[in-house]
Amino acid sequence: MADTARHPLLILLAVVAATAIIVAISVAVVLYHKRNKRKKNRELSDAGSRTSARWLPQYNSYAVGKSFTFEEIREATSNFAQSLVIGVGGFGKVFCGVVDDGTKKVAIKRWNPSPEQSMHEVQAKIEALSKLQHPHLVSLIGFCLFKKEMILVWEYMEHGTLREHLYNNSGKPVLSCSWRHRLDMCIGAARGLHYLHTGGIIHRNVKTTTILIDKNWVAKVSDFGFPKSALTRASQMHLSTSHVNGSYGYTDPEYFCREQLTDKSDVYSFGVVLFEVLMARTALNPALPSDQVSLANYALACQRNGTLPDAVDPVIKDEITPECLEKFAETAVKCLADQGMERPTMGGVLSNLELAMQLLNSMPMQNKPLIQQNHMLYV
């Protein structure tokens, strides 16, 4: 009888013991995962200083590939102060900041987090950008990875955008730099784009606000795209087909039909830039008569009917030789061909612009000063 009574008790004790073991194991597993998650978060938040350095290639240049912690970025931008915002787009915001103990001014681009973007792809993008080094590309100084955020630190361009030296916010031409200087900036931008294209990189958003001017008045291309090797297949499809890339007034009309970006899409956009430089007016201006709203269409019409010289920016009209104007306009017109296959490569555009400069240099020039704010430029 006693043995019979003890039997259910033993079973109960065994069940309790088994349950306790299971609970203990479960608690241990949960604690392990929590600890592991905290460790990963610490690694991500400090990726700019430790983890990233393991995979980022080393370069001779001090500036390229420097890793920053998130705290360093916050300090550089006064905790991302709105007063320091110098650019806003679908990607996120660009802040003016200072690094290296406040001795170096930089532009800090904080990208909006993308849930579809893996850390591997983020690292691949930064590594690819770090390899792009050219005198006419804005240089990547460093980066910061915080969780799934990608923060890029770029060299600061003291003289702003090319557009700022053509016309003001109301669209009126400004007394800025000479024709020779504008042409030199176009050549610089063409060199930067040619370099990207030879590496298989499509810019996707060429315009006068993505061509920046440094302290020495050298034009550099900014906001360029990533090489295909740095993008997942999903990202490539998103960039190519999910929405219209670029800005209205600059976008390749062929792209609207096929929704496929090529290097010739950049060439079309650059053709608009060339006419924008020549005429000092916006790519789109709804306030103008219907036949002048689109700069591309208006410029092509002027070229066809022989009135292009009359449409040149009055500030520089007397500086352009007929031979230089002819070669420059011919180059811009070819860029705006309807079919991509009819447009030149950026290498061809660069050669023609350099020829236009040679034609300009072959004519005697007067030392005629042009004042631009606190700087004096000469034709």
Residues flagged as binding site: 109
Q: Of 112, 106, 93, whose CA–CA distance to 150 is shortest?
A: 112
Give the H or E element holding residue 17: helix 2-45
Decide the pairing of beta strands 92-99 and 85-89.
antiparallel
Asked whether 283 and 296 are in contact (CB, 8 A), the reply is yes
Phi, psi of 140, deg, nearest 5: -80, 120
Annotated binding site for ATP: 109
Residue 348: burial class (beta carbons within 10 Å; 0-12, 13-18, 19+): middle
Instruction: Give the C-alpha distances (Å, rounded to integers) separating 264 from 184, 229, 336.
Output: 22, 20, 10
DSSP states of 73-132? HHHHTTTT-GGGEEEEETTEEEEEEEETTTTEEEEEEEEPP-TT--HHHHHHHHHHHHT-
DSSP type of residue 242: I
For the chain, the residue count is: 379
Rounded Cα–Cα distance for residues 211 and 241 (Å): 25
Neighbouring C-beta atoms of residue 135, cutoff 10 Å: 13
Rounded Cα–Cα distance for residues 2 and 7 (Å): 9
